[in-house]
Structures are given as structure tokens and as C-alpha cells.
Amino acid sequence: MTTFIEKVNLFVDEAARLLNIKQDQLEHLKTIHSLIKVNVSVVIENEIKNFTGWRAVHSEHILPSKGGIKYSPLSNQNETEALAALMTYKCAIVDVPFGGSKGALRIDPKKYSKKQLKSITKAFATKLINKDFISPALNVPAPDIGTSAETMEWIKETYKSLRTSDINYRGCVTGKPIHAGGIEGRLEATGRGIEEVVREFFRNPKLINQLKLNKQIKDNRIVVQGFGNVGNNLSLELYNRDNAKIIAVGEYNGYLFNKQGIDINKLYKFFKKNNHINNPKLGKFINKPSEVLELDCDILIPAAMADTINETNMNNIKAPLIIEAANSPITYEADKKLNKMGKIILPDIFVNAGGVIVSYFEWIKNLSHIRLGRLEKRYTESKLLEVVRLIEKITNTKTDDQTIKRIVQGANERDLSNSGLEDAIRLAFNEMLEIKMKLNISFRKAAYYLSLMKLMKFYKKNTLVK
């Protein structure tokens, strides 16, 4: 089986051939720009603990470079470099002006207390900051698997203590708590972005007819593998905004199944309280986690680990539409097979871009030092109220107070964040769709084609030092 970085580069090579990109330019574009590997030593319970960490920068064609920091016992350099590359291509697709980067620490965060994790994080951050691998102008991390908004706040505190004269210190990370400079909507952004992808897909009758799906999202059976931050927020958005019928939700130890559809609001509350999804009141729990991918459904959304759809189960995948919420959930070989089977796969480098889109808005907020919507909210409300009063006067009618309040309400930070997210997703989807239809290629190949087409404007020989 191909490695993660090999798989990414194979997809890049396929798109590059369609664009006739010269080999030397292509190799320059694919190569990791810089990489730091550090040893993090922290005294825990009178014993020195050592952790290996990485921060890879794939591109600096636009600064800063952007990408999350992952805490996992399985973290390694190959994966970190691959994820950094994906960030480059992802940002280009959705027109977010960042280069690509990624960080990782080989650690099982579940084995350490909050106090210990804070010390480990600050030690790791110090190493990266001192080498300029964290900076609001150069390299901006965000949460990933094993890290959180609180982790980002610890990094921000460390940066502030080391760079005391940088007034933009809040912009050194995104995905922070609101009180620490975060933005409304960031926590849910990746999940909501995936839901916007689903919505945009169903605005295209030709695609729906090609897969023989029902015209409305709510009339299709959906399976979500993974109920972490991405999976549960995605499920909540689908359930509450689209009345979606989610028949199964998978986790590491099994999946919850209900052919009538699971009440996601109740499942979310149960999961938050109990840290598992085995609730017999909401469905039948089946202790065979891999089977969830093979269920008879209309839409399959793998939102867990990489390579979960592979050579062992690819022939058993029944869903005609697969939406990659996780990073690289389908192997290179399985991707080829599924396309031959007539499946449509919406690729990770586009589908899960919601996080970096809203991170961009947070970074802008931090550098501008003003909350989004603060300048125009009340002005917009007063002008809309004037319009309502004018209509009332002309029509000799009276509008009730609740309706007026709903109509004239100006956009707050969350409204603007969600609006910007929807705009980026919809524009990118239709750019990809146009390429797909024109060249008769898969969505994945169209995504990489679109990304390279935009990136090659920056990767020209006359931009290099001679």
C-alpha cells in the first residue's frame, strides 16, 4: 500500500499531466519547503519524559503557512509532511490566502493530566516559536486530532511571553476560545462546511440523477463514521438544518444503527455525558466497527481515521456517494476501484476545508483587532427598519414586533462567519464541477486540477532566485 505522502503526490501527478506542468516545476511545487524535528523533554512526576515533534512547511508562496497540530501516539514525519501538502492544495481550492503547514507531537494525550499537557504543550511551542515555526506572520497552527481550543490558548500564551512586542500575538494560532481571540463558529466550522458541501451537491440535479438519489437530502439514508468534533458537528448540522435521516453513526468500538433515523440531538447529549454512543433507546449498538462502512445507504461520510476504506472492504461499499470528512480515509487503490464502480467521491482536500476557511476569518479578526460585524451591525438594523416602516406606510399595514425583529436583525460574528464559509464552499464546488464536467474526470482529479491551476501562478521560474 502506498504511503500517505506518496498517495498525495500520485493525485498531484495525475492532475499535473492534464495541465501539462513541466516536471521540474512540478517537483518544486511538491517538495516540502522546510521541516523541523524536535525533542520535547518535560519532567513529569520526577521523571524526564521525551516526546518527538514535527512542524512541516510545504509552501510559503503566500504567508503565513497554515495547518493544525496533532497529538497522537501514531504521529510520524511522513504523515505530517503529507498533511502539510494537503493544506497547500486545500487552501488554494477555497481561495484562502495561506501556504500549507502541519505539526504533530507523538504522544497519547489521554495518558496525561491537563496540567501535564499544558507543560508539554508550552515546551513544544517554545521550540517551534524560537525557530520561527509559529508566528502570526509566518506560520499559524490550529487544533487537530488530540488538541483543542485550550491547547491553542496555551500556545498563544507561550508566544506572547516570548514575543512581548508583537501586538498581533493573538494571531499566532487559530481555533482559540472566544475570550482568547477566537471567532464564533470556528469549533463547528469543519462539520458545518461538510454540510454545506452536501447541500451544494443536492443543488445539482444531474449529479443526483446520475447516482439515482432522492432529490431532497432528508429522503436519503446517511451513514457517518466517527463522532468526534467533526462527525458530531456535521451530524448536528445535517439533522437540524436539513432534517437528515442518519441511520448509523460509527465509533472505534462499534456503531449505532436505526433504520428509521437516529435522533442526533439526543445522541449528542448522551455522548457528551457518557463519552460513548451505545444508547439502546436511540438504536441498536453493533460491536463491529468496520461494518458501518459497508451498510446499505445513500451517502457514506467517513469522518474518522485515514485508510479506513481500503483493499479489504472496497468491494463491499454500497453507498453511491462518499464524502471524505476525514483526511485521506480512502487508499489510492480503493479510490481507483470505487470510481470504476461508478461511485462519486467528494475529496478531503475540499470537503473538510471549513476549518481553515473560518480560521482565516479568525486570523483577520486578530490582525484587525476588531470583532466581525461590530462596525455595521446597528447601522444595518436601522436601515432595514426604515425599509419596513416605509412598506408599512405604503401598504397601510402593521407588522408585529417579532417579525420586525427577525427581519431587521443585523449580522453578528457567527452569521458572518457562516456566510463566508458557505460562500467559499459553494464557489469552490462549482469551480470543481465545471472542470469535472468539461474534462470528464473525477471530483478528486478536478479538485487537484483546480488547486494546481491556481498554485502555478506562484510557482514560476522567474520567481526563483537565480
Phi and psi at 441, nearest 5°, equal -125, 175
**Hunting for cell 480503493 — which residue is that?**
334
User: Where does a domain end: 156, 182, 208?
Assistant: 182
- Distance, in Å, from the CA atom of 285 to the CA atom of 405, rounded to the nearest integer, reads 45
Cis status of the peptide bond prior to 64, with omega within 30 of 0: yes
Host domain of residue 239: 189-345
Say if 159 falls within a structural domain. Answer: yes
> Is the same domain home to 208 and 74?
no
Cell, residue 387: 425599509
> Is the same domain home to 243 and 146?
no
Report the percentage of the chain scoring pLDDT > 70. 98
> Is the same domain home to 248 and 148?
no
> Is the same domain home to 63 and 194?
no
> Is the same domain home to 205 and 154?
no
Say if 334 falls within a structural domain. Answer: yes
User: Where does a domain end: 303, 319, 345?
Assistant: 345
> Is the same domain home to 169 and 304?
no
Say if 89 falls within a structural domain. Answer: yes
Whether the predicted pLDDT of 408 surpasses 70: yes
> Is the same domain home to 174 and 204?
no
Residue 49, CA atoms < 13 Å, CB-side half-sphere = 19
pLDDT of residue 446: 97
Catalytic choice (66, 70, 90, 102): 102
Say if 461 falls within a structural domain. Answer: no
- Distance, in Å, from the CA atom of 377 to the CA atom of 178, rounded to the nearest integer, reads 19
- DSSP result, 102-115: EEEEE--GGGS-HH
- Distance, in Å, from the CA atom of 252 to the CA atom of 232, rounded to the nearest integer, reads 14
Whether the predicted pLDDT of 460 surpasses 80: no
Residue 267 maps to which CATH number?
3.40.50.720
Mean pLDDT over 279-308 rounds to: 94
Mean pLDDT over 256-275 rounds to: 96
Which parts of 401-440 fold into alpha helices (H)? 401-408, 413-439
> Is the same domain home to 177 and 320?
no
Mean pLDDT over 261-273 rounds to: 96
Single-letter amino acid, residue 26: L
How would you class 400 by CB atoms within 10 Å of its CB: exposed for 0-12, middle for 13-18, buried for 19 or more?
A: exposed
Mean pLDDT over 451-457 rounds to: 94
- Distance, in Å, from the CA atom of 364 to the CA atom of 359, rounded to the nearest integer, reads 9
pLDDT of residue 271: 95
Cell, residue 82: 503529507
**Hunting for cell 454540510 — which residue is that?**
195
Cell, residue 46: 520526577
Least confident of 24-33, 101-110, 346-355: 24-33
Mean pLDDT over 19-44 rounds to: 93
- Distance, in Å, from the CA atom of 264 to the CA atom of 251, rounded to the nearest integer, reads 14
- DSSP result, 179-212: GGT--TTTTTHHHHHHHHHHHHHTT-HHHHHHHT
Say if 437 falls within a structural domain. Answer: no
Say if 246 falls within a structural domain. Answer: yes
Say if 436 falls within a structural domain. Answer: no
pLDDT of residue 13: 94
Query: Cα separations (Å) of 111 from 41, 115, 271?
Result: 16, 12, 21
Number of domains in the chain: 2
User: Where does a domain end: 159, 182, 205?
Assistant: 182
304: which strand partners?
Answer: none
pTM of the model: 0.92
Are 355 and 193 a contacting pair, CB within 8 Å? yes
Say if 16 falls within a structural domain. Answer: no
Beta-strand (E) ranges in 202-274? 221-225, 245-251, 254-257
Q: pLDDT digits over 213-247, tens only? A: 999 999 999 999 999 999 999 999 999 999 999 99
Q: pLDDT digits over 35-91, tens only? A: 999 999 999 999 999 999 999 999 999 999 999 999 999 999 999 999 999 999 999
Mean pLDDT over 151-177 rounds to: 97
Residue 111 maps to which CATH number?
3.40.50.10860
pLDDT of residue 458: 87
> Is the same domain home to 305 and 336?
yes
Q: At CB < 8 A and 24+ separation, what contacts does 426-435 make? A: 426/196, 426/200, 427/94, 427/95, 428/93, 428/94, 428/95, 428/350, 428/353, 429/197, 429/200, 429/201, 429/350, 430/200, 431/93, 432/93, 432/350, 433/204, 433/207
Mean pLDDT over 156-170 rounds to: 97
> Is the same domain home to 196 and 334?
yes
For this structure, is 102 an active site residue? yes
| Mean residue pLDDT across the chain | 94
Query: Cα separations (Å) of 450 from 190, 432, 433?
Result: 21, 7, 10
Are 276 and 295 a contacting pair, CB within 8 Å? no
- Distance, in Å, from the CA atom of 336 to the CA atom of 51, rounded to the nearest integer, reads 37
pLDDT of residue 465: 47
SS3 48: strand
Residue 273, CA atoms < 13 Å, CB-side half-sphere = 8
> Is the same domain home to 76 and 208?
no
Q: pLDDT digits over 433-450, tens only? A: 999 999 999 999 999 999
pLDDT of residue 261: 96
> Is the same domain home to 41 and 115?
yes
Query: Cα separations (Å) of 439 from 93, 248, 435, 436?
Result: 17, 35, 6, 6
